């Protein structure tokens, strides 16, 4: 009750102080100025009392005296809230620092300041004395630093406001203000866009309403000739007899080419070479490496697994065992109250107990209430490419961009379609099966598509991995081994993508699948009517093949021209899907300077073979796991 009463009295003192200070005038009587006289005209709103009150504090603290109402206001709030006397004393101390340091700081720059229609001393007696002392011993730089330090301390003590909290508050309000401004600006832009669209629609409607009578054009008859040659031959210095220049095997056109638009015939100007897909007999036959499953051994391992987990106070049971060609998955259901993270951290201990090379723990298996513990088999089954290519799932796949990856955990053939990816990023340390996997993908494409359906660009910095494909007809150019030329190859792919998009825009199709279906249907006819426009776009009648760009080692490419390579790969990855251009990028050094953020963001489909460290594993998948793979083709997809 007493503190509340003090708080109310202090509130009235705040009003008195504020009114007295803000109505101060230099000619009013105060300390050092007509102290014992009472002039006829007093400017202060509180009269003689207010003039002496304001003059006394301004005489002591100068402009720093204007902090007094603020400090008294804070003390009044603390009293009304029943705060302790310690906080009140700290507030008073902070107010004293504020008044002295404010006056002293202002005195450094100017003695007097024009304020409220009068002239007020900047520092007062105390502020000038403190500043003069600091200037004598600390020079002006030290004086500014010391005064600023105590000014901040005084502000925190006097107001109870943290500088960091105040900065965060200002930052939050600034962000909110910018957000509101952005929304208003977006509404402004949308308004003008709508107005512009309405104007465009009215303009197009007005064009359609104009009646334009077409001028009849007489089209001369053209003979069925594919190749046209000019009538006049440029003269040379020495000419043989005119009758010996041309053989009568090619018929010349007698009519003028510029006066008519011929019917366009669908022809393939490339040499017609019959191409048959390779036979399955080209691949080696499957060796009998599959072993019988020893159920007793698997049950024994499951018991060892349960007992070892019990030693670490992890209780549960193995509910299912899934033997595969390379690893065996033990599905472990933990007891109630067991944390999954506790199981995930025991992989090294379990590998020691089971004498395994490494153990990978999938905690939990997606969509299941069990934890997958993958243990390598003592005898690994070799995955044969012929078995994969001859599998039912590969043969029945309708996509020409079907890739054979290998076998899953249960030994089933694993294939995927590049149409759905649409690009693939492969990473793995040296000798882990990365190049073998890349070759398997290339052979899968050769078994699925003819050179008219699939074209490839291969970039091989190692010079030996992909050079064996130099003679296949699917290549647009020989295998690129010069890294300076590799950049040109990527930029050619970018230009080809842009050309295809222009073609799709002209013909009104969304992707090359729709476009190629149109071309195939048109090719069944002998002739096709020209477009309604004046110019006939003959490119629109050429079937577009898929283009697969394969880079065997991205790190070497980034060392030569990282900015150009990153730009080309990012642009292709962002836009090339509808144009039928797909990327397969492999690297054995998955560091952040090779797999940059823009490259990773546009390659959502990734394959990781065994890597050398957890850092590389997190770079590829943003999580661990691939450092625990077995090598020799073991991968995560």
pLDDT digits (tens, 9 = 90+) for 179-199: 888 877 877 787 777 777 777
Q: Output 284 or 502, whichever has higher pLDDT.
A: 502
Q: Environment class of residue 165 by beta-carbon count within 10 Å: exposed (0-12), middle (13-18) or buried (19+)? A: exposed
Boundaries of domain holding 480: 400-636
Which CA distances in Å does 564 have to 258, 468, 497, 559? 44, 28, 17, 11
Return the DSSP state at 116: T
Residues 415 and 366 in one domain: no
Task: Give the number of C-alpha atoms closer than 13 A to the C-alpha of residue 560, restricted to the C-beta side.
Answer: 14
Whether the CA torsion 267, 273, 276, 278 is positive or negative: it is negative
CA distance 434 to 588: 8
CATH (domain of 562):
3.40.50.300
**Cβ-based neighbour number of residue 385 at 10 Å:** 18
* pLDDT of 160 strictly over 80: no
Cα distance between the two ends of the chain? 73
| pLDDT per position as a tens digit, 317-373 | 888 888 888 888 888 888 888 888 888 888 888 888 877 887 888 877 777 888 888
Ramachandran sector of residue 564 (left: φ over 0; alpha: ψ -120 to 50; beta: rest)? alpha
**Residue 435 maps to a domain:** yes
Structure tokens at 336: 């109630």
pLDDT value for 497: 92
**Of the candidates 126, 143, 161, which is a domain's last residue?**
161
Other CB atoms within 10 Å distance of the CB of residue 374: 23
DSSP 516-550: HHHHHHHHTSSEEPPPSSSS--GGGGSPPPEEEEE
Hunting for tokens 């499951």 — which residue is that?
Answer: 302
180 three-class SS = helix
263 inside domain: no
Q: For residue range 526-583, what is the model confidence (pLDDT) as tens digits?
A: 333 433 333 434 444 678 899 999 998 888 888 888 888 888 888 898 888 888 999 9
Phi then psi for residue 117, to 5 deg, are 80, 10
**Does residue 274 come out as left (phi exceeding 0), alpha (psi in the -120 to 50 range) or beta?**
beta
Contacts 24+ apart (CB under 8 A), 13-18: 13/72, 14/69, 14/72, 14/73, 14/76, 16/46, 16/50, 16/53, 17/53, 17/68, 17/69, 17/72, 18/69
484 and 539 housed in the same domain: yes
- Give CA separation, 572 vs 381, 445, 498, 578, in Å: 38, 20, 10, 11
Report the greatest alpha carbon distance in the chain. 135
In-domain check, residue 439: yes
- Give the pLDDT confidence score for residue 264 in this predicted structure: 34
Question: Would you state the pLDDT for residue 157?
Answer: 80
Res 494: pLDDT: 92
Is residue 551 one of the residues assigned to a domain?
A: yes
Q: How far apart are CA 175 and CA 72, in angstroms?
A: 33
What integer pLDDT is reported at residue 493 of this predicted model? 92
- Alpha-carbon span 491 to 571, nearest angstrom: 10
Please give the pLDDT value at position 247: 35
Above 50 in pLDDT, residue 219?
Answer: no
- Look-up: residue for tokens 């594993």? 617
Indicate if 410 and 335 belong to the same structural domain. Answer: no
- Could you give phi then psi for residue 432, rounded to 5 degrees? -100, 5
Are 78 and 150 members of one domain?
yes
Question: Do 353 and 451 share a domain, yes or no?
Answer: no
- Can you say whether the dihedral through the CA atoms of 561, 563, 566, 570 is positive or negative? negative
pLDDT at residue 322 in the model: 85
Q: If we measure between CA atoms, which residue out of 221, 233, 175, 634 comes closest to residue 405?
A: 634
Instruction: For residues 23-32, give the mean pLDDT.
Output: 68
User: To which H or E segment does residue 402 belong?
Assistant: strand 402-407
Q: What is the pLDDT of residues 235-263, one digit of tens each?
A: 333 333 333 333 333 233 333 444 433 33
- Has residue 255 been placed in a domain? no
At residue 177, φ and ψ (nearest 5 deg) are -65, -45
Do 368 and 411 have their domain in common?
no
26 domain-assigned: yes
Render pLDDT for 371-414 as a digit per residue (tens, 0 to 9).
888 888 877 778 888 888 888 888 888 888 888 888 887 778 88
Residue 566 tokens, joined: 């990153």
Q: Residues near 101 by Cβ (< 8 Å), separated by ≥ 6? A: 64, 127, 147, 148, 150, 151, 154
What's the number of domains the chain is made of? Answer: 3
Q: State the residue for tokens 């090619």.
A: 250
Token reading at 390: 């001859």
Chain segment 31-75, per-residue pLDDT in tens: 555 555 556 677 677 777 777 777 777 778 877 778 888 888 787
CATH code, domain carrying 303: 3.30.980.40
Residues 6+ apart with CB under 8 A from 342: 312, 314
- Confidence (pTM): 0.54
- Does 121 share its domain with 37? yes
What pLDDT is attached to residue 222?
37
> Do 577 and 623 fall into the same domain?
yes
Domain boundary among 103, 135, 161: 161
Per-residue pLDDT tens over the stretch 469-495 = 888 899 998 999 888 888 889 999 999
Give mean pLDDT, residues 463-469: 85
Does 245 map to a domain? Answer: no
Higher pLDDT, 298 or 76: 298
- 555 and 600 belong to one structural domain: yes
Last residue of a domain, one of 376, 408, 425: 376
Report pLDDT for 117: 58
Token pair, residue 11, equals 């509130």
* 583-627 pLDDT, tens digit each: 999 888 888 778 887 888 888 888 888 888 878 777 777 766 777
Same-domain check for residues 108 and 55: yes
* 438 and 519 belong to one structural domain: yes
367 and 516 inside one domain? no
Report if residue 62 sits inside a domain: yes
Going by C-beta distance under 8 Å and a sequence separation of 6 or more, which residues neighbour residue 521?
none
295-314 pLDDT tens trace: 888 888 888 888 888 888 88
The count of C-alpha atoms lying within 13 angstroms of the C-alpha of 187, restricted to the half-sphere facing its C-beta, is: 6
Question: What would the two tokens of residue 343 be?
Answer: 């199981």
Cα separation, 289 vs 437, in Å, equals 20
Residue 350 CB contacts under 8 Å (≥ 6 apart), including other chains? 305, 308, 309, 356, 359, 361, 373
């Amino acid at each position: 009750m007493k503190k509340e009463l003090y708080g109310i009295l202090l509130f009235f003192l705040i009003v008195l102080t504020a009114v007295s200070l803000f109505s101060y005038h230099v000619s009013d009587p105060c300390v050092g100025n007509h102290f014992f006289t009472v002039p006829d005209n007093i400017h202060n709103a509180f009269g003689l009392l207010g003039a002496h009150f304001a003059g006394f504090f301004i005489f002591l603290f100068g402009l720093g005296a204007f902090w007094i109402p603020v400090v008294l206001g804070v003390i009044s709030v603390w009293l009304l809230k029943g705060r302790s006397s310690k906080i009140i004393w700290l507030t008073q101390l902070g107010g004293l620092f504020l008044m002295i340091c404010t006056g002293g700081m202002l005195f450094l720059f100017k003695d007097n300041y024009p304020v409220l229609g009068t002239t007020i001393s900047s520092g007062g007696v105390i502020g000038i004395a403190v500043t003069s002392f600091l200037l004598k011993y600390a020079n002006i730089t030290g004086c500014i630093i010391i005064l600023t330090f105590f000014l901040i301390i005084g502000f925190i003590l006097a107001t109870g406001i943290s500088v960091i909290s105040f900065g965060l508050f200002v930052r939050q309000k600034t962000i909110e203000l910018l957000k509101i401004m952005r929304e208003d600006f977006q509404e402004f832009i949308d308004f003008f866009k709508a107005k512009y669209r309405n104007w465009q629609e009215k303009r197009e409607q007005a064009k359609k309403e104009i009646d334009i009578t077409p001028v009849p054009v007489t089209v001369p008859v053209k003979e069925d000739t594919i190749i046209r040659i000019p009538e006049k031959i440029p003269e040379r210095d020495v000419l043989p007899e005119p009758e010996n220049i041309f053989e009568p095997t090619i018929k010349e056109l007698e009519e003028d080419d510029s006066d008519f638009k011929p019917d366009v015939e669908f022809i393939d100007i490339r040499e017609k070479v019959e191409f048959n897909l390779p036979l399955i007999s080209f691949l080696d036959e499957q060796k009998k490496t599959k072993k019988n499953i020893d159920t007793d051994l698997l049950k024994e391992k499951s018991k060892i697994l349960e007992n070892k987990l019990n030693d670490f106070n992890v209780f549960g049971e193995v509910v299912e065992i899934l033997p595969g060609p390379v690893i065996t998955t033990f599905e472990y259901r933990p007891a109630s109250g067991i944390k999954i993270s506790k199981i995930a951290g025991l992989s090294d201990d379990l590998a020691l107990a089971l004498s395994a090379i490494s153990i990978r723990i999938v905690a939990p298996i997606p969509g299941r209430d069990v934890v997958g513990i993958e243990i390598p088999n003592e005898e690994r089954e070799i995955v044969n490419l012929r078995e994969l290519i001859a599998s039912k799932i590969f043969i029945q796949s309708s996509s020409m961009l079907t890739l054979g990856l290998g076998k899953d955990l249960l030994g089933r053939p694993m294939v995927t379609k590049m149409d759905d990816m649409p690009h693939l990023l492969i990473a793995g340390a040296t000798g882990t099966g990365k190049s073998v996997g890349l070759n398997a993908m290339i052979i899968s494409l050769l078994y699925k598509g003819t050179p008219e359906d699939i074209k490839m660009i291969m970039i091989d910095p190692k010079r030996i991995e992909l050079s064996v494909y130099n003679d296949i007809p699917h290549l647009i150019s020989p295998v690129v081994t010069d890294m300076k030329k590799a950049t040109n190859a990527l930029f050619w792919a970018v230009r080809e993508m842009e050309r295809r998009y222009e073609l799709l825009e002209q013909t009104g199709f969304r992707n090359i699948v729709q476009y190629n279906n149109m071309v195939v249907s048109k090719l069944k006819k002998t002739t096709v009517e020209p477009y309604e426009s004046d110019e006939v776009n003959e490119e629109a009648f050429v079937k577009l093949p898929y283009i697969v760009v394969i880079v065997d080692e991205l790190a070497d490419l980034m060392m030569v021209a990282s900015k150009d390579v990153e730009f080309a790969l990012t642009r292709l990855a962002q836009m090339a899907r509808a144009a039928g251009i797909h990327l397969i990028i492999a690297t054995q050094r998955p560091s952040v300077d090779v797999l940059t953020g823009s490259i990773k963001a546009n390659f959502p489909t990734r394959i990781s073979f065994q890597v050398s460290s957890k850092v590389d594993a997190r770079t590829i998948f943003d999580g661990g796991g691939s450092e625990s793979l077995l090598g020799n083709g073991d991968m995560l997809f």
